[in-house]
Amino acid sequence: MTTNFKFNGFLKVLIPFLLTQALGIYAAFRFLPALATVQPVSFGGFSFYDFLILLIFVVLFIFLASRFQKFGAVFYKVILTFLIFGGSQAIFGIWLGSAASILASVILTVLFWFFQTVFMQDIAMILTLAGIGSIFGLSFAPTAVLLILIIFSFYDIIAVYKTGHMIKLAESMIRSHAIFGLVIPSSLGGLKERMSRVAPGEEFMILGSGDVIFPLLLSASIVRISIAQAAMVGIFSAVGLFLMYWLFTHQKVRKPMAALPPIAGASIVGYLIALLIFK
């Protein structure tokens, strides 16, 4: 197993990541007039009980999914179906009418489950994550998203390196063929592979949905203030992706890693620099 950084390999990760960020920022810009009067959730909008409820939900979900594998497999597929339909409909709605966007989302969802190739996986995820990230991003103030990024970055570290339950959850999703994230093949030919063959290792790398959507939440939230600032955050999130990929490829033994901290950290740096540049 090679541990050398390969720029061509990084490009395979960067392209779908940046496509999602760019499409999400553009979608937020297009959605903004309709949501301009909606007051975004601010930093002070969170309470201890909000985080407690979220924590209970996450723990309960992981417990049920890992303990009852058949339940988990069905649950993943149902949730993923609704997310693809809803997220893609938001994106299709930018260019299509209401009925046409619904039809396009139905077709995409059917194709996703019918073909189940890496290519269909990534197309569906780019549209889904861009749609969900843009709408939810506009629902929060940038300061609130900063808090979310910091909390989930620490959670990612604990869940991967301490408890390991995030790895078990990912393995469960892979077994059920319901992966909520981008699948990056080592070669372009891998885009034609069936999802049933996907497993983390030499041939495929999986970039989880949170690693893609959390920086987009920050970018989309900033669209209310400045599209230039949002673009800067998107660029810096790509810098964080580069750092993550460099660390991942330089492991002595290739193992799953907490990808969100470097991506979120770089996104926050981009936001702070954007505040200084675009006053």
pLDDT at 6: 77
* pLDDT tens across the length of the chain (279 residues): 345 667 788 999 999 999 999 999 999 999 998 887 777 876 555 565 666 676 677 667 666 666 666 666 788 888 899 999 999 999 999 999 999 999 999 999 999 999 999 999 999 999 999 999 999 999 899 999 999 899 899 988 988 888 777 777 777 788 878 889 999 998 888 899 998 888 777 688 899 899 999 999 999 999 999 999 999 999 999 999 999 999 888 877 778 888 999 999 999 999 999 999 886
| Stated pTM of the model | 0.89
User: Are 27 and 90 a contacting pair, CB within 8 Å?
Assistant: yes
Residue 80 contacts residue 178 (beta carbons within 8 Å): yes
Residue 261 token pair: 């901290």
d(CA 272, CA 258): 23
Contact 259, 211 (CB under 8 A): yes
Per-residue pLDDT, 1? 39
Provide the pLDDT for residue 72.
67
Grouping H, G, I as helix, E, B as strand and the rest as coil, residue 67 is helix
Residue 137, pLDDT score: 93
User: In whole angstroms, what is the distance from residue 223 CA to residue 202 CA?
Assistant: 38
**Cβ of 72: how many Cβ atoms within 10 Å?**
21
